[in-house]
């Protein structure tokens, strides 16, 4: 009896301590994640001298004109269009390529299937970063795409290993009985993919689209390399870097902060649009 009572008393205390540790960890992670964003937003409303000194957290006077200045000096209208064009085309093309590849690999047996999957895994886990920039650029020169945004788009589409594995995981959750029933009714392989599989894959495509759009939107090195001699083709990330130094070569961090806040808005819109897909994926996993 005494042992049981001791265990009953000890268990709630252990549960409380473990829950307190868990919440402390989660709050710490959330703080380190949100704090830089909050400081960037507040810094966008400060003057350059106030931001450089860093004496206060809140602005002494809210400088809303920083956003208009950043928009004008960074040519945001043009650069935003370039970023949207690259991100949208990359997202749509990547979803088409990866969904077709994942469907074929999951539903068909063909020579070199394991080799293809191994190559995809290698591009996912082995990253050599800027080392491949030169051969990529040389390849685009031979294709005469080094002076357009299509060279950047093609390279971004080629790095789709993570999206491929995300989608193939969802394909494995779709019963093959649907394919067999459709084939009995006379449907071909492509018709099944378009009319039956893709609608069932909509939540996964939403999640994959968000990841792809975010990666293309935040890409900096590739647009920088391909647009060095084409300033009108620069993306928003490249244009933001130009805000750091003004005409007098003085550091203008307040304009860079304001531009960064403006560049976050499209990404937030895409997240809220794709949020429904996240909810469907989570609901499906809990239900299953």
Domain ranges, ordered by start, for the chain:
2-43, 67-287
Decide if 191 contacts 182 (C-beta within 8 A).
yes
CA distance 46 to 213: 30
**CATH 1.10.3720.10 for the 67-287 domain, yes or no:** yes
Question: Tens digits of per-residue pLDDT, 195-232?
Answer: 888 888 888 888 888 889 988 998 888 888 888 888 88
Work out the mean pLDDT of the chain and round it to a whole number. Answer: 80
Return the pLDDT at 89: 94
Reduced to 3 states (helix: H, G, I; strand: E, B; else coil), residue 74 is coil
CA distance 274 to 276: 5
The larger pLDDT score, comparing residue 230 to residue 7, is at 230
Instruction: Report which of 278, 267, 161 is spatially closest to residue 218, judged by C-alpha positions.
Output: 267
Question: Tens digits of per-residue pLDDT, 166-195?
Answer: 888 888 888 888 888 888 888 888 888 888
The residues, ordered by sequence, that sit 6+ positions from 126 with a Cβ below 8 Å of its Cβ are none
For the whole model, what pTM was predicted? 0.78
């Amino acid at each position: 009896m005494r042992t049981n009572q001791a265990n009953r008393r000890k268990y709630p205390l252990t549960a409380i301590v473990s829950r307190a540790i868990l919440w402390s960890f989660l709050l710490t992670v959330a703080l380190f994640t949100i704090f830089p964003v909050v400081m960037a937003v507040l810094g966008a409303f400060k003057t350059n001298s106030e931001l450089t000194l860093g004496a206060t957290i809140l602005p002494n006077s809210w400088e809303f004109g920083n956003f208009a200045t950043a928009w004008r000096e960074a040519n945001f209208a043009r650069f935003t269009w370039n970023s949207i064009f690259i991100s949208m085309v990359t997202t749509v093309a990547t979803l088409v390529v990866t969904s077709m590849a994942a469907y074929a690999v999951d539903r068909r047996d063909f020579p070199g299937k394991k080799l293809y999957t191994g190559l995809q895994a290698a591009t996912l886990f082995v990253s050599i970063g800027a080392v491949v920039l030169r051969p990529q650029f040389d390849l685009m020169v031979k294709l005469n795409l080094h002076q357009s945004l299509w060279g950047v788009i093609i390279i971004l589409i080629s790095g789709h290993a993570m999206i491929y594995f995300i989608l193939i995981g969802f394909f494995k959750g779709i019963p093959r009985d649907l394919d067999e029933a459709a084939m009995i009714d006379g449907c071909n392989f492509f018709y099944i993919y378009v009319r039956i599989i893709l609608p069932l894959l909509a939540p996964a495509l939403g999640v994959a689209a968000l990841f792809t759009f975010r990666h293309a939107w935040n890409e900096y090195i590739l647009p920088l390399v391909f647009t060095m001699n084409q300033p009108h083709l620069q993306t928003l990330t490249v244009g933001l870097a130009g805000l750091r130094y003004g005409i007098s070569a003085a550091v203008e961090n307040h304009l860079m902060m304001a531009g960064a806040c403006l560049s976050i808005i499209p990404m937030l819109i895409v997240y809220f649009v794709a949020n429904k897909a996240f909810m469907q994926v989570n609901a499906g996993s809990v239900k299953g």
